[in-house]
Each structure stands twice: as structure tokens, then as C-alpha cells.
Structure 1
Amino acid sequence: MKISDYHPFRSAEAKETYLAHYDARAKKWPIPSTEHYIDTSYGQTFVRVSGPDEGSPLVLLHGHSENGLNWLPNIQELSQQYRTYVVDIISDPGRSTYTKVMKGIDDYNYWLEELFDGLGLKQGINLAGLSYGGWLVSRYALRYPQRLHKICLIAPAGISPFPVKFIAFALFLSLFQFRSKLLFKQLTRWMFEDFIKTQSQGEEKFEDWFEFIYLGIQSHQAQPIVFAKVFKDAELQALKIPALFITGENEIIYSVPKTLNRLQKVAPDIQVTVVKNAGHDLPLAQPQQVNEAILDFLQVGT
């Protein structure tokens, strides 16, 4: 791979502009943190670490095309007892820099293995992921369960098939490579409707969040996405470590009733929490409820 001075951004100007916005946003991090760059065979991964030194590790993976700053509404409470490791996934816009394209889920699994080694996290890891990050968590848990303590899947991809409406909209946008800002904004408004409704100054907060995410998409040289394949029944049943599935009642990337019914039949040991007045935006729309669900789950048996 040819690496420019501004890689993985589209130009030197794009890199400077985006990282200036990123750093300005990072100043809103509500608690003390340290910044780390971990070298892996896939490139350098940025991790922000917070919480007590003696706390059990809780690693957080964001959704697709986002970065670790997406956990701003959640991080203070999650870091009271846990040593939190907030990762900028290496293939997404942020402060991580990929030098190798992720061609399949094995690449992501190996990358996480190297990342945990670099962080000195050998075992007993609590691993939580949102959306695409939730899919990465579940796939890693299938491959390397011995390193994990518990997993939290927050609005994860791959648990149920995407509805036709969502697929059609996403495919249409992909044909334009997200160059249609208006269409992309319509999709995100649809996905984040509860965030807008439930938060004080929801419209302003959505605009601020959207502009930052869109700037990242426009500035970053994205890798081809590794499609989040739906779990087979046998794969769900093979998840032997304690798992929590959190979904918003208004989720749009799958049917909530059908998904809950499937989990009850196929993998009844997976704990389920349904968050009211939330959809795919649940960590932003209902951060307190999401935090409580995660902390209650992690603290059982400890």
C-alpha cells in the first residue's frame, strides 16, 4: 500500500481540518484520560484510556464510520469502576491509521488480538460494541472467548437480517459513496429520530454530531466494508461467555420482536434489555439507561 504523508485522509488539508475538529471535540471528554497509539500489523491504533488503574478492563468499540468520541455521553459513568479503553477502530475516521486493508472478519480478529496484547490486556476483558462494533465484538467472542469475561452487544449488526427498506436506502447511498449529503442526512435522521426527540436541544445536537460524522466520511479514504453477516443459529449457540444484548424499542436495522423471539428460541442464555424511547441511537438518546444496563450486567457475579 502506498502511504502518503496525509494517509489515511484524502489530502493534507482534509487531514488538518478533520483532526482539528476531532481534537476540539475531544476536549469535551468529561474525565481525565491518557492517549495511546498501539502498533499492530494493520497499522497504528488510537486508544483513549480512562478510569481507575485497578479497575477491570472495559473495551468500547464504536459504530461504522464513527470513532471513540461517540462514547462521550456514556464514558463518565462507565469509568467510575472500570478501566475503560475507548478505541478508534482502525478502518474508520479518527486518529487510528491503517496500513493494511481489512479483507475479512479474521483480519479484525487478529487486529484486536494484537491491540489487546499491546495494551497488556491478557484475559478477563469486558468487551462492548455498538452497531458494527457490536458485530466485531460477537465475532471476536466466537474466535477468542478465552480472553474475555463478558460481552455487551449494543444495537449490534448481524443478529438479524436487515429489513428491505434499510438495505435499499443504504445501497442507494453507497452508489453515491455518501456524496449526497442530503440523502445521507435523511438516513441518519431516520436512524437517530429518538435522539432528536429525547434530548434537550435535540436538533442542534444532531446537527453538530452529523456534521462531524459527515466530515469524517468526506475526509477519510475508507476501506471496503467487510459485510456484517447474520449469525447462524449454531454460531449464536456457540457464544458460551456471558452476553448482553441491548436494543432500542424503535430499532430500524432489524425487527425487534422477531429478533427477541429468535434469541429466546436459539440462544436463551443471552441476556436481553430493551430500551424505551430509543432506536439505533440508544447510547445517545438514552445514555443513562444504556449505562445502567451495561453496569448491572457486568457487576453480576463480581
Structure 2
Amino acid sequence: MDLYYEISGEGKPVILMHSGGADRRDWTFVAPVLAERYRAIAWDGRGCGKSPSPTETADYIGDLRAFMDHLQLEEAVLVGHSIGGQIATEFALTYPQRVSKLVLIAPDLSGFPYSKEFMEWMESIRSAAPDIERMMEISLASASYRVVMASPQRELMTEMWKYNTGKMFEWATWESVWPKPPAFERLGELSVPTCFILGKEDVPDLHRIAECFRAVPDIRFVEIEGADHKPTLTHPEEICRHITEFLED
């Protein structure tokens, strides 16, 4: 296994998958608390943190399957944040027998019709490349991050985003492959018990994604007051409490 990971604690395995522009440090304040009860496994997705850059079209679902095989895990709890949540959702749809429970924190959703405003924001970031400082300025000025950027975790957020965005320019390709049809069209087939956690201050597209997940047969929703797209950094105690309550229910 060429992907970097860190394990702490013992017990039920809980795999932590970080958001875009981040790495395992997304779980800096979450993993130690979960490790008091569970085997917390935080990994760097391909091209992020200490993991190697993609040399061909990325298959994140295949990476997760290989990662679990490497750790000899037949089944695990998946906790995915943002793009990590998209990976977790797709994996649970493809391999439901390998996911005991699913926790999604402000997840992306393949096939979802993102708003014009969101797409224009993404394009403005891409258009600023390869000026990493300008890309970071545009990205972190978004409403998605107004809470975390006003918090004590601003420095960690900035450092993590700058490092991983810079690393993206080392990738052989930015292309990725996802199962078809997209998860947006198959949420009613998601059979794994699911907990959907969202910051109340997150952008409208994420609240629309939450509405889409109401198609999931077995799901609970949690809204965190005063949190934006990075509750893992600003509200870790609440995140851990809701995860633990869900897993122990």
C-alpha cells in the first residue's frame, strides 16, 4: 500500500477521509477523541499529504478498497468529509457489505447539479492557476470558510490548503473515474445506516445536497450551529459526540 495513513486507538475500525485541499490533518482534533473508543484510521488520499501523486486517472473507490484489503478489514465505519464524503458514498453504494455505518460531513455528491455561483467560483480558482497565492485567496474568501478563517484554526487551514494545492501541480493528471450512474441518481439504493452532518453556515448547495440525501432509507441529519464547511476544525467536540452517538445507537 503506497498511501500514507496513521492509526490510533483500538476497537471498531473507523476510516477518516478528508476534504479537498486537505489531508489527514483535517482530523487533527477529531481522531484523538475517536481513538478513545475506536480504532481511528486517518489517511492521506492519493495526491494529498504524504501520499504519492496520481500517475494515471485516479480511482478513489479502488484506492479505498485496496486500503481496506491492506489493513485486512472486511468491514469498517466510513467517515467522509466533503470530497471524502463523495468517496464514502460511492464506496457504500458499490460495496455495502464492507461498510457497517456511514458518516458524511458536508459531502460532495457525484452527478449533483451545482449552482451557477458555485461553478463560477470553482472556475475562478482554476483560472488563477498556477498562482497558488491567488488561488488560495479566492478559495478561502468563500462563504464556505468564513467561520474557520475567523477562528484559531485559520493558520492550520491556510497551511494545509496551500500545501495540498501546490502538490496538485505535481500530479500527472487531474482526471478521476467514478461509478456510473452517479450517486445523485442512486441515493435511494444506499442501504447502509447513514448520518449526515452539516454546518448551518455552509453554502446553499450543501443544504440542497442534504435534501437529496432524504432519499436514503436509513438516515439521520445533524445540523451544527455556527459551523461552515470545516466543522472538523472548528467544532470537533460536537462532531465526535454525534459520531459516537450514531455508532453506539
Q: How would you bin the TM-score normalised by the shorter chain? A: 0.7 to 0.9
Query: How far apart are residue 99 of structure 1 and its match?
Result: 5.6
The reply on whether 1:64 has 2:14 as its aligned counterpart is no
**What SS class does the counterpart of residue 49 from structure 2 fall into?**
coil
How far apart, CA to CA, are the structure 1 residues paired with 2:229 and 2:86? 14
Contact 2:132-2:165 at 8 Å conserved across structures: no
Contact 2:106-2:206 at 8 Å conserved across structures: no
The reply on whether 1:280 has 2:238 as its aligned counterpart is no
User: Which amino acid is the alignment partner of residue 97 of structure 1?
Assistant: P
Contact 2:132-2:166 at 8 Å conserved across structures: no
The reply on whether 1:95 has 2:47 as its aligned counterpart is no
The reply on whether 1:196 has 2:149 as its aligned counterpart is yes
In the alignment, what sits opposite 2:183?
Answer: 231
Contact 1:163-1:255 at 8 Å conserved across structures: no
Q: Please list every run of 5 or more consecutive structure 2 residues that lacks an aligned counterpart in the other structure.
A: none
Contact 1:162-1:253 at 8 Å conserved across structures: no
How far apart, CA to CA, are the structure 1 residues paired with 2:190 and 2:130? 35
Query: How far apart are residue 267 of structure 1 and its match?
Result: 2.6
In the alignment, what sits opposite 1:131?
Answer: 82
**Aligned partner of 1:175 among 121, 127, 139:** 127
Query: How far apart are residue 179 of structure 1 and its match?
Result: 1.6
**Any runs of at least 4 consecutive aligned residues in structure 1 with deviations exceeding 4 A, and if so which?**
227-230
The reply on whether 1:114 has 2:66 as its aligned counterpart is yes
The reply on whether 1:166 has 2:118 as its aligned counterpart is yes
Query: How far apart are residue 89 of structure 1 and its match?
Result: 0.4
How far apart, CA to CA, are the structure 1 residues paired with 2:206 and 2:71? 37
- What count of residue pairs does the alignment treat as equivalent? 243
How far apart, CA to CA, are the structure 2 residues paired with 1:146 and 1:216? 32
Contact 1:253-1:280 at 8 Å conserved across structures: no
User: Which amino acid is the alignment partner of residue 109 of structure 1?
Assistant: I
Question: Which range is displaced more, 209-218 or 223-232?
Answer: 223-232
In the superposition, the TM-score normalised over structure 2's length comes to 0.88
In the alignment, what sits opposite 2:8?
Answer: 50
How far apart, CA to CA, are the structure 2 residues paired with 1:86 and 1:253? 28
In the alignment, what sits opposite 1:145?
Answer: 96
- Highest Rg: 1 or 2? 1
Deviations 1:215-245 (A, max 9, x none): 3322441341538896334x10110010111
Q: Give the alignment of 1:4-43 within 5 angstroms.
A: 39=1
User: Which amino acid is the alignment partner of residue 9 of structure 2?
Assistant: G
In the alignment, what sits opposite 1:291?
Answer: 240
Query: How far apart are residue 94 of structure 1 and its match?
Result: 1.4
Q: Please list every run of 5 or more consecutive structure 1 residues that lacks an aligned counterpart in the other structure.
A: 1-38
Query: How far apart are residue 287 of structure 1 and its match?
Result: 1.1
Query: How far apart are residue 171 of structure 1 and its match?
Result: 0.9
- Ranked by relative contact order (alpha carbons within 8 Å, sequence separation 6 or more), the top structure is 2
Contact 1:142-1:239 at 8 Å conserved across structures: yes
How far apart, CA to CA, are the structure 2 residues paired with 1:127 and 1:230? 19
Query: How far apart are residue 120 of structure 1 and its match?
Result: 1.3
**What SS class does the counterpart of residue 232 from structure 1 fall into?**
helix
